[in-house]
Structure 1
Amino acid sequence: MLKLRHTLFSVFFFAIVFGNAQAFETMSNNIDSVVYDAIKDQAFPGCVVYISKDDSILFMRSYGHHTYDSLRRVAVNDIYDLASITKVVGGTLAMMKLYDDGKYNLDDRIGDYIDKIGKVGKVTFREVLTHQAGLYPWIPYYEEVKRKNGKFKSKTISSNLDDDYSYQLSDSLYLHSGFYEKIKKMIRKSDVAREKKYRYSGLFFYLIPELVESLTDTLYQEYLETNFYHQVGAKTLMFNPLDKFSLHQIAPTEIDTFFRMEPIHGKVHDEGAIMMKGVSGNAGLFSNAEDLASIFQMLLDEGKIDSLQLLSPQTIQLFTTTQYPNNDNRRGLGFDKPLLQYDSIASSVAQSASFKSYGHSGYTGTLAWADPESDLIFIFLTNRVYPSRTFRALYQRNVRPTIHQFIYDYLKDIETQENDPVENTK
């Protein structure tokens, strides 16, 4: 059977097959209304909403503009900074493949695989992937590199380009080639809580590229591209997108007023990832909606793409399952999960999302979520941090869970009409 995932025709085909044009129109109008109101309220300047069902596109629509000056309209294939969605389609994917290949055990200590990380090395892979290890949430690397007089410490950042400071952070800042060792030193010196309870932390995900390289003799970026991105045909899913794409295809993020002191456009928004030259397991990936969805469809298809088995079904099941529910921790291994007790204010996803569903949100306002029970994928790409991260109307208006719920309501309407002979005669 021909798969329609990569054709806009499937948007209309899906509605026709289910004989439910009215319900589809209601869902579409509801989504339009929520998004347009959010843009008006400056929750974000624009966005892309992508929905697929049973490996076919149900809905894919762009809204608004790249910025509030309305100079460039958003297109459905525009590229966005995924922020922490990188944790699942970057770092976690790599960890899943390494696990499949028997390179480590989940209850091994990470210090047995990565040196020079001190007491952080005593926690296990299972603990760090579920944010159960007690690691410090984050480190402001851009502040740690400064002396009290405001000048940068040696071998960190310089205002001059030379052989040692060759990676450009901004128009006037250049990163030292060996800065990763400084990141490891800061992680080594960071706090580790004695009590093992849920505390969200991105620190381990900065170490994943080194782990991949040490276990496979392959660069982290190459490892992901070879084993996943190329296999699913995801051409825009990449780090440092300016290496391949022009600025006009990429939505800008924040106007930085405290570190890089310039608009961030085409370079990763996350301050830690930019100081890893744009490549980390914590943040750094960019993508359009369809390419991002292709990774989640591979996961829903139990690791298969055509005749290739990229991941085992057992590994996908393990990583997308809650590990510490008795410790009030909803997380899978790398993947976020629905709240153990639904809270309409705190949740990023619909109340109707099944407990088997999984995904991740991103600081830039993005969300990617898959539900195996309904073979449903929901992608929301935006740049809510433009022009400033202080813009929080996206959360205050519950934009993402509201749209997500509209999808489940639509599917419920379809099921009701299919099972109601009276409805089917209307």
Structure 2
Amino acid sequence: MRSRPLVALLSLLQLGTLYGQTPQQPDSLQVDSLPAATEHILAPESVSSKALARIDSLAEAGLRMGAYPGCQIFAFYQGEVLVNKAYGSLTSLKGRQGEPATPQSIYDLASITKAAATTPALMLLVGEKKINLNSPLLSYLPETKETLLGMVTIRQLLLHQSGLPAGINFYTDLIDDTSYEGSLIRYKSFAGGVPLVGKAWGNPNFRFLDKYISDKATEEHTLRFGSKKYLSPSFKTRMMERLLSARVSSDKSYRYSDLNFILLQQVIERVSGEPLDEFVTKHIYRPIQARLYFNPLEHGVKIQQIAPAQHDTFLRGEILRGTVDDEAAACLGGVSGNAGLFGAAEELAKVCQLLLQHGAWGKKQVIPSSTVRLFTETTSASGIRALGFDKPRSSGGPTGIYASSATYGHQGFTGTCFWVDPKYDLIFIFLSNRTYPTRQNTTLIRERLRQRLQDLVYEAVGATTPR
């Protein structure tokens, strides 16, 4: 695979110069600013302009369905930007007037964080032989020594074969259990209840424990939990206690779990001596000039540039805009191994291209090429996961039907995805805030719009052989 970061950056430069646009987001990474790509679809002679036009049609159909207020689509093929376009608005469903989405709008990337932050950080530490994939957690987190968790390996965490449950509602320990009547969470509707994820309903009539949550920043409450709520860093100790006491099944078959990547974050931070956000910014994002952020509001990003993730009427009682949607990540102050990353598609594309080029960026080898291959080409016995990445399925699954079996990437709960296909030299990114105003909106998922849009990109470049 030849290294082409300059080609990609020149494509963005040419588009920005042609249309006279400048970046909307600040450059908190202290690198030279790049002109931003405008809303545009390129149609080289080898690409079907009719197929590209169908991308427009389907994206706009999604707006009419109310699948999302707006979205971004980015496609990069053999060194050229094919699509870098935004549709709809940041805040209004079904085409109603709202704040227009642009290619520079910033989205909550949700679980893409696992593959675009935590996994690249691990790649670096594995490449430097500071972490061994086959070593158990107790090698890096001695507090796990007396638990079954201590014997779970780094490899098992990356493959989601740890035996851990899917998640833990850590936030329940933030709440004064004497402040509400009945159950905090129930699995059927009730008067005054707020629908949560799946069949769960929550009682919003509670009070937070003062030792953990404050309505203003204090010496003890320094982490952002909401726009007007601040969290004590001491809560991390309580979270770790719950993780250490979590049931670890002897069945190590695949079960997707956010807890795996929360633990991997602790490993990264313990080994590197740096918080995850600082480590990945310094060693990954800054070298490739990618403007990706944890806690974007703390990096000078204006709130109007950020798509709201949801109107949280249960836990934080506000519209989450620039504050992470995921509750577990919020309990860590917005920096977590499982979620918390924000960015635009054209910025995320730089990380994808770095991976596609086996860690090379110009003349610099940002991540050892052998390590990138190890992570992206090693798969579980079932073949549905790589190390830190999701993979296509034999049928259905998270990708379209034309993505090759070599494809790797990840989806995000808020309505996002990225996919890197080395066989076709193709990157596809879709970002949306399908969870705004409510997480109950599953039209994007039910209609498989991400997968169908991805297929249209493959059709545009003539790669129409189902895997």
Q: State the match for 1:133 in structure 2.
A: 162
**1:372 maps to which of 422, 428, 442:** 422
Code of the aligned partner of 1:181: T
**1:84 maps to which of 111, 130, 138:** 111
- Give the secondary-structure state (helix, strand or coil) at the position aligned to 1:83: coil
Give the 3 Å change call, closer, same or farther, for CA 414–160 of structure 1 in structure 2. closer
- Report the Cα distance in structure 2 between the residues aligned to 1:284 and 1:168, rounded to whole angstroms: 12
Is this contact kept in 1: 2:157–2:264, CA < 8 A? no
- Written as runs of structure 1 = structure 2, the 5 A alignment for 1:144-183 is 144-150=173-179, 151-153=207-209, 155-159=211-215, 161-183=217-239
- Give the secondary-structure state (helix, strand or coil) at the position aligned to 1:60: strand
Query: TM-score, normalization: structure 1?
Result: 0.90
Q: State the match for 2:85 in structure 1.
A: 61
Q: State the match for 1:101 in structure 2.
A: 128
Q: Does 1:49 align with 2:73?
A: yes
Q: State the match for 1:423 in structure 2.
A: none
Code of the aligned partner of 1:334: G
- Report the Cα distance in structure 2 between the residues aligned to 1:167 and 1:226, rounded to whole angstroms: 21
With 178-187 and 203-212 compared, the bigger mean Cα shift is at 203-212
With 119-128 and 144-153 compared, the bigger mean Cα shift is at 144-153
- Written as runs of structure 1 = structure 2, the 5 A alignment for 1:118-267 is 118-150=147-179, 151-153=207-209, 155-159=211-215, 161-235=217-291, 237-243=292-298, 244-267=300-323
Code of the aligned partner of 1:182: R
Q: State the match for 2:445 in structure 1.
A: 395
Q: State the match for 1:419 in structure 2.
A: none
Q: Does 1:15 align with 2:65?
A: no
| Consecutive unaligned residues in structure 2, runs of 5 or more | 19-36, 180-206
Amino-acid identity (%): 34
- For residue 381 of structure 1, report the CA deviation from its aligned partner: 0.8
- Give the secondary-structure state (helix, strand or coil) at the position aligned to 1:337: coil
Is this contact kept in 2: 1:5–1:52, CA < 8 A? no
Give the 3 Å change call, closer, same or farther, for CA 357–39 of structure 1 in structure 2. same
Give the 3 Å change call, closer, same or farther, for CA 13–123 of structure 1 in structure 2. closer
- For residue 413 of structure 1, report the CA deviation from its aligned partner: 7.1
- Written as runs of structure 1 = structure 2, the 5 A alignment for 1:33-48 is 33-48=57-72
Is this contact kept in 1: 2:74–2:345, CA < 8 A? yes
Is this contact kept in 2: 1:55–1:297, CA < 8 A? no
- For residue 177 of structure 1, report the CA deviation from its aligned partner: 2.3
Q: State the match for 2:395 in structure 1.
A: 342
- Report the Cα distance in structure 2 between the residues aligned to 1:202 and 1:127, rounded to whole angstroms: 13
Name the structure with the higher helix share. 1
Per-residue CA distance 1:116-165 (angstroms, 9 max, x = gap)? 34322211011110001111111111223334323445743344643212
- Report the Cα distance in structure 2 between the residues aligned to 1:13 and 1:81, rounded to whole angstroms: 24
Give the 3 Å change call, closer, same or farther, for CA 413–133 of structure 1 in structure 2. closer
- For residue 322 of structure 1, report the CA deviation from its aligned partner: 4.5
Code of the aligned partner of 2:122: M
| Consecutive unaligned residues in structure 1, runs of 5 or more | 416-426
**1:404 maps to which of 454, 460, 465:** 454
- For residue 321 of structure 1, report the CA deviation from its aligned partner: 2.4
Give the 3 Å change call, closer, same or farther, for CA 74–259 of structure 1 in structure 2. same
**2:370 maps to which of 314, 319, 322:** 314
- Report the Cα distance in structure 1 between the residues aligned to 2:227 and 2:349, rounded to whole angstroms: 34
- For residue 182 of structure 1, report the CA deviation from its aligned partner: 1.1
Count how many residue pairs are aligned between Structure 1 and Structure 2: 404
Code of the aligned partner of 2:261: F
- Written as runs of structure 1 = structure 2, the 5 A alignment for 1:277-292 is 277-292=333-348
Is this contact kept in 1: 2:434–2:444, CA < 8 A? yes
Query: TM-score, normalization: structure 2?
Result: 0.82
Code of the aligned partner of 2:150: G
Is this contact kept in 2: 1:198–1:329, CA < 8 A? no
**1:323 maps to which of 357, 366, 379:** 379
- Report the Cα distance in structure 2 between the residues aligned to 1:125 and 1:139, rounded to whole angstroms: 20
- Report the Cα distance in structure 2 between the residues aligned to 1:396 and 1:212, rounded to whole angstroms: 36
Is this contact kept in 1: 2:233–2:332, CA < 8 A? no
Is this contact kept in 2: 1:116–1:185, CA < 8 A? no
- Give the secondary-structure state (helix, strand or coil) at the position aligned to 1:174: strand
Q: State the match for 2:184 in structure 1.
A: none
With 392-401 and 144-153 compared, the bigger mean Cα shift is at 144-153
Give the 3 Å change call, closer, same or farther, for CA 219–143 of structure 1 in structure 2. closer
Give the 3 Å change call, closer, same or farther, for CA 28–15 of structure 1 in structure 2. closer
Code of the aligned partner of 2:153: T
**1:30 maps to which of 54, 61, 65:** 54
